[in-house]
Structure 1
Amino acid sequence: MTGPALRIEDRDDFVLATLDRPEKRNAIDRAVVDALHELCADLESRPRTLVLRGAGGSFAAGADIAQLRERTAADARAGINTRAFMRVHALPMPVIAVLDGYALGGGAELAYSADIRIGTHALAIGNPEPGLGIIAAAGASWRLREIVGDGLAAEMLLAGRILTGEEAHAAGLITHLHDDGDTAFEAAAAIARRIARLDPAAVQASKRVLGAPRSAHPRIDLAEQAILFDSPEKHRRMTAFLERKQQR
């Protein structure tokens, strides 16, 4: 599947989606949003790990300002970017974002919707929206504080602080820091390949449990575990483990 805004490649162990508007530093416009919805529909029906990256040395420098300038109150209430990023976050299998160069505004919020974020030393990530007369309303106001804590989230959202790759790594916003986009992508691909060796049902259950509110635990954990305990794949994998152990 290939589009003018989002290039999709099936890499066997994962699906790679590349934001491909390098002349605009991959600014997220309506075409990107529509392509994300199309991609999510496919991954909802055929769950696979998703790796997101940007072309040309940046992840995404923000939403498309020319389009944002023309949007009205009705567009804001429709949550054009918000609903797309929520759908990415809710995908059944893990989402890994490779963050190089600019990941600002809507680009940062798309990054926050990933489960795992890998960055580079060249990364600049944050939410400067108030400088443009708007707020970060596509996920940052609730996701960012869960990732980096209330204090740093407040400084990023209220004072427009932009984090470097090193600062993002220290804050836990990214879990791996690499020299360039290619090595960061290879690290993401290695994680995706590791996920592919696991039981997909167990990975999906783990993601559901991880994303559940505190009030749902331990009820949701036990319900998910009960399903897995009776699965043929659990018995197959545990039998294989015990047989390998006996052969040592």
Structure 2
Amino acid sequence: MSDDVLAIDLSGVVAEQPDPVLFATVSGAHLYGFPSRDSDVDLRGVHLLPAAELVGLGEPEETRSRMWDRDGVEMDLVTHDLRKFVRLMLRRNGYVLEQLLSPLVVHTGEAHRELVSLAPGVLTRHHAHHYRGFASTQWRLFEKRGELKPLLYTFRVLLTGVHLMRAGAVQADLRALVDEPGAPSYLPDLMAAKAEREHGAADVDRERVADDVERLHGLLDEAQQLSGLPDAPSVRAALDAFVVRVRLEGAGVGAVG
């Protein structure tokens, strides 16, 4: 990981978790290609609960969240139990796919690599709904606060969605999307401004950016209609078998099937 802030040794964070971590990656602004000097580090991943916690009478802690300061950097860690994470993958959740496929890997292993190999079979044309909704939420936040961060998130999300519909692949880094057909030419300038301050105001022509956001929504609609992606995941059975096998192996039962 090339960013200076990511030069922090994050392996200890994984070791501190109460249950085994199958993978941990960096998400957020570092993944999206426009971190600021004062950006926090968003760690996302999957933990593996003991089988007894899932078959007993108690309510398992399927999602864990923690925020703290480490070496002067604010850390934000969120992990899901494997079963919940895979269920989110099957619900057309682009956010968890971006976490799974993030190139900023803190911790990995065979289970992570296998899950990555199954990810293409989860992609559908209906993932456009996720990106459309996420973009609308960020745009409303920009209209309310006038900050550069939600504006860049709006553009990033829309361009990621368009790219997914066209190319059938997840690309969350805005730096790799600025040359995509339809991307506004001023995005590199906005990214450079964002690098100086996490919550700075957006010095933009609001009418112009509103027109560009509306145009990108149209491109996303068109890309979804023309997409060669299927209507439903093709790997549901494979993911089910994967979750069962990893859980039993983690419980010391051994592989099944």
TM-score, reference length from structure 2? 0.26
Q: Which has the higher contact order (CA 8 A, sep 6+)?
A: 2
